[in-house]
Chain A
Amino acid sequence: EPEVTQTPSHQVTQMGQEVILRCVPISNHLYFYWYRQILGQKVEFLVSFYNNEISEKSEIFDDQFSVERPDGSNFTLKIRSTKLEDSAMYFCASSMRGPFYEQYFGPGTRLTVT
């Protein structure tokens, strides 16, 4: 069964450093998403991406964040200058149709900012 994959599974970085989290969505899916979950808290929507542009973003997704689909298979989330409060699990998801159809989530990347 096709699945969303994410790398790395765990990333440790120092405050102020840039990080790139990588995702490979399911190959025939057209919509892509990033969510985050701070330890013990809710899953929070960050951004959705369709047709090579951002279609929705939350108030969390400020200028420090960016997304890209560089090569037709990968979908990346970049955090330019990490803060301690960016420490969280980051989940990538994809869906074949729009955001209100079933989304398939990856296993997540645990980001630890020290």
Chain B
Amino acid sequence: DAKTTQPNSMESNEEEPVHLPCNHSTISGTDYIHWYRQLPSQGPEYVIHGLTSNVNNRMASLAIAEDRKSSTLILHRATLRDAAVYYCILREKGIAGNQFYFGTGTSLTVIP
């Protein structure tokens, strides 16, 4: 089963960059790496996903290691609104096939 390991919590100062790491040493060759976040009292929100190359969108950047065993979500300038739990997700083979496994994620605190 493809699982991820993330730090339980991280802190960042407002308007500074944040690098959220994720280890996924058992990733398979076709697994996409997805990042979602969950703001307090809200549903999860898609952030970004990638396969091999680094990816950028309006919310964040995703840096994927060359061996794909780790990745880093980069928030270029943290705002108070970015305080959330960030989940790094791979495909997870469950009893009926493939499904998202959210894990415990990294709780990001942004300090004003």
Contact = CB atoms under 8 A, between A and B. Distances in A.
* Interface secondary structure of B, over-half rule: strand
Interface residues of B, number: 23
Interface residues of A, number: 24
A43 interface: yes
A74 interface: no
25 contacts: A42-B102, A42-B104, A43-B38, A45-B100, A45-B101, A45-B102, A48-B99, A56-B94, A56-B99, A59-B94, A59-B95, A91-B43, A93-B43, A100-B34, A100-B49, A100-B91, A100-B98, A101-B49, A102-B34, A102-B46, A103-B36, A103-B100, A105-B44, A107-B42, A107-B43
Interface of B: 32, 34, 36, 38, 42-46, 49, 87, 91, 94-104
